[in-house]
Chain A
Amino acid sequence: MFDFTRNHFELFGLPARFRLDAAALERAYRELQRDVHPDRYAGAADHEKRLALQGSARVNEAYRTLKDPVARAEYLLQLSGIDATAETDTRMRADFLMRQLERREGADDARAGHDESALAAILADVQRESGQLLADLESVLDGDDREAARMRVRELRFLAKLGDDLRDMQLAELDR
């Protein structure tokens, strides 16, 4: 099918950097899927179907990784030999952790008082901080400061988890 050893960026013909031309990624993804998706090979021989399946799954995986900024940053770090996803690595800035702790407490209070607007405010706050970290990430990662990038990636993961939890709380309020 195609060269499975190419990295995600090469697969889509994009430069290996954090700043991304989202429209170009989208376009390359669709074009590749049009050609490798199993639907193209619905009536094909078994070995071709298998190739199409693997190729299409590979394209999906690459797209999923590059589309999500945090996953993209992790992947870039991984390409340069840094594992930002190791669970044993729990180092984080103290002021960052303090802020999240306060948000958790605020969310618990909001939930106890069924205060939907307070929940929404905390979520907006989390999204704001994530946006700031992402902007930072672009300068440190494309500027080759990998240690600073690793730290921000970890913090972004942390915020993403907190954001998910907040959204679950919002959903629970919806169902109430």
Chain B
Amino acid sequence: MTLFQISEPDESPLPHATRRAVGIDLGTTNSLVATVRNGSPVVLPDLEGRTLLPSVVRYGEHRVDVGHTALARATEDPGNTIASVKRLMGRGIRDLADDRRYPYRLVEGEGMVRLATRSGIKSPVEVSAEILRALRQRAEGSLGGAIDGAVVTVPAYFDDAQRQATKDAAKLAGLPVLRLLNEPTAAAIAYGLDNAAEGTYAVFDLGGGTFDISILRLSRGVFEVLATNGDSALGGDDFDHRVFCWAIEAAGLPPLEGADARRLLTRSCEAKEMLTGHDAAPIAATLSDGTRIDLTLTAETFTAMTRTLVAKTLVPVKRALHDAKLAPADIKGVVLVGGATRMPQIRRAVAEFFGQPPLTNLNPDEVVAVGAAIQANKLVGNREHDDDWLLLDVIPLSLGIETMGGLAEKIVPRNSTIPVVRAQDFTTFKDGQTAMALHVVQGEREKVADCRSLARFELRGIPPMVAGAARIRVSFDVDADGLLSVSAQEQTTGVEASIVVKPSYGLSDAEIARMLEESFAHAADDAGARALAETRVEAERIAGATESALAADGDLLDGEERAMIDRALAAVRTAVAGDDRSTLSAAIDALNEATAGFAARRMNRSVARVLSGRRVDALG
């Protein structure tokens, strides 16, 4: 909890300590964790040197396996091995109408689909938390202590419920989340800083199961997302599947099942990867009934059979350019993200569409985690020279409210720069109406039925008036993570009745608390000691920040105010040395309280400096 982050760009707010910050790419197929070490981003490997952690969780008889071990057992225990859980985040059973078959059992749950495993009913949030916990432990082992802050990436197209679910999972895994970051934006951060690029860029992200395209403007240290689009059911897996189907047909096989299907799919995937550097690849396997498959797939055949898939990626690309009001020629560079972008036919199609070869000098598997790590490093306060940039992001889907006739009235249009606060007035339609039902929706379609329902709530206590006389102001508030809260208020009489809602697909706070308790109960480490340690870190941080602020802007305070802050500061210093967490927390709160007015004045001064132009050169 740093109180004062305002500082001149060339002055470090905390010269003494480097905080442990990580960036996490929580992927559909694989996940990674990266950090910034001595000014350079690095992806953290596991004990065996592998950086990719398969996003697979297996609920075993006595233990939970995550990653490679879970993946290795997937074939023998498919019902308890959860892969691609990212697709289920923030989703109800009705949302999963893409007919993708899941080998594990899905059950309806409140707000979100649940998975029936041998360890009981699990929510996708809990499963994702297992993956995040594994990455957290890897990072803690590598960095030598508790993580101070994490940035977790999400697809640009994730809606409010999916973002909320991701944030809940991180909370459950014990990660202090500083920010959710759109994946393509993270990739641009990695490239933008490393190459000092300026201009309008496209980020083309073809992962295992999803495709995202973002148009970003990078200029004078500011990243701005102009438009995003994508296809949530298109990825490298689809290319594997095409090869798999081709192999079955070419070998004249009947439809395969179970272990045989899995084996051939693995061979298909290997062939696909080999074709990136070769003109032909063998597909050889022996099936359970002894049938021998021995095929050769040429690059030419592979390109031909995947032509429609490649073409499918260009539709969202055109839509995104359309939204940004740009032509392909306006794009200065194209960043490739995701292992599937290694395929030559993808690179050729991108090069042809944009009239230039894409950027490929960073590892497409790692670039998102690297960008997230750079952002985390900045947010946690480890600022470097020339590191005074800012990320301006947009919301991917319009937010609105249901009006008469089941129509959606957009209040915050998509691609609005966040944070954003937007209000609109509505009125009553019946004489003497004292309550109003509000239905919050997300999406681009005109009819509410075609949009995603986020929340419903009621505003009561409207004074009885003739129809159309009441003025109900509905306010939409989207924070820097892209998460929404909505409130409603009757204006004419001054009667206030405002409600803040959480999306109906998010978990309730009570549910998160229960999961946290459960996870603590199972955790080997002592939760109490951990909490004390975390509070101490927080105390050190806030005390250090206060001292820097006093040194820089102490002249804003009169003697009495200064004495009060000094007293509160001393109390924190004393409590840090003790073992009582609640005393320490109280001392931190008191210091926060004592410095609130000071903080506001510092901010005013800082804004005044900007307006007077004094800092313009320094920031340049």
Contact = CB atoms under 8 A, between A and B. Distances in A.
Contact of A35 (B315, B381, B603): B603
B178 A43 contact: yes
A1 B599 CA distance: 8
Determine the main DSSP class of A at the interface with B: helix
B421 A37 contact: no
A25 B488 CA distance: 33
A60 interface: yes
Given A42-B179, A57-B420, A175 B390 contact: no
A34 B222 CA distance: 9
Contact of A30 (B3, B179, B220, B599): B220
Nearest to A174: B318
B417 A60 contact: yes
B367 to A, nearest CB: 21
Interface in A36-78: 36-45, 47-48, 51, 53-54, 56-58, 60-61, 63-64
A175 B178 CA distance: 39
Contacts of A174: 318, 322
Contacts of B2: 42-44
Contacts of B378: 39
Contacts of B392: 33, 37
Interface in B599-620: 599-600, 603-604, 606-607, 610-611, 615-616, 619
Which of A41, A171, A174 gathers most chain B CB within 10 Å?
A: A41
B420 A35 contact: no
B607 A35 contact: yes
Nearest to B608: A2
A42 B420 contact: no
Contact of A27 (B1, B178, B616): B616
Contacts of A42: 2, 5, 149, 178-179, 379-380
Contacts of A41: 5
B607 A2 contact: yes
A31 interface: yes
A1 B179 contact: no
B274 interface: no
A32 interface: yes
Contacts of A161: none
Contacts of A43: 1-2, 5, 149, 178, 379-381, 541
B395 to A, nearest CB: 11
Interface in B563-620: 592, 596, 599-600, 603-604, 606-607, 610-611, 615-616, 619
B418 interface: yes
A38 B611 contact: no
A40 B319 contact: no
Contacts of B619: 31, 34
B480 interface: yes
Nearest to A37: B390
A53 B479 contact: yes
A40 B421 CA distance: 19
B287 interface: no
A5 to B, nearest CB: 14
A34 B1 contact: no
B326 interface: no
Interface size class of A (residues with CB under 8 A): 35 or more
A51 B222 contact: no
A135 B458 CA distance: 47
Given A39-B391, A61-B421, A48 B599 contact: yes
Contacts of B390: 30, 33-34, 37, 39
A2 B602 CA distance: 10
Which of B378, B421, B603, B615 gathers most chain A CB within 10 Å?
A: B603
B480 A38 contact: yes
B594 to A, nearest CB: 11
Which of B2, B381, B592, B610 gathers most chain A CB within 10 Å?
A: B610
Nearest to A40: B5
B596 A31 contact: no
Contact of A2 (B222, B422, B541, B604): B604
Contacts of A1: 600, 603-604, 607
A61 B420 contact: yes
Contacts of A131: none
B419 interface: yes
A124 to B, nearest CB: 14
A15 interface: no
B421 A175 contact: no
A30 B604 contact: no
A13 interface: yes
A28 B149 CA distance: 30
Given A43-B381, A45-B596, A175 B315 contact: yes
Nearest to A171: B322
A167 interface: yes
Contacts of B600: 1, 51
B521 interface: no
B358 to A, nearest CB: 21
A101 to B, nearest CB: 24
A56 B419 contact: yes
B193 to A, nearest CB: 15
Contact of B603 (A31, A51, A53, A170): A51
A4 to B, nearest CB: 11
B108 interface: no
A10 to B, nearest CB: 9
Contacts of A170: 322
A140 B329 CA distance: 37
A48 B542 CA distance: 13
Contact of B3 (A28, A39, A44, A64): A44
A35 B6 contact: yes
A64 B417 contact: yes
A36 B149 CA distance: 20
A44 B480 contact: no
B95 interface: no
B388 interface: yes
Which of B380, B390, B596 gathers most chain A CB within 10 Å?
A: B390
B592 to A, nearest CB: 5
Interface in B360-386: 378-381
Contact of A37 (B3, B322, B480): B480
Contacts of A33: 222, 390, 392
A11 B159 CA distance: 32
Contacts of B592: 45
A35 B480 contact: no
B421 A54 contact: yes
Contacts of B422: 61
A36 B616 contact: no
Given A31-B619, A35-B610, A43-B541, A53 B322 contact: no
Given A28-B611, A42-B149, A45-B596, 11 more contacts: A31-B610, A37-B390, A37-B480, A43-B379, A44-B5, A47-B596, A51-B603, A57-B420, A57-B477, A58-B421, A60-B417
Interface of A: 1-2, 13, 27-28, 30-45, 47-48, 51, 53-54, 56-58, 60-61, 63-64, 167, 170-171, 174-175
7 contacts: A27-B616, A33-B390, A45-B1, A54-B421, A64-B416, A167-B322, A175-B315
The 7 nearest A-B residue pairs measured at CB: A42-B379, A43-B2, A57-B421, A38-B480, A31-B610, A57-B419, A45-B592
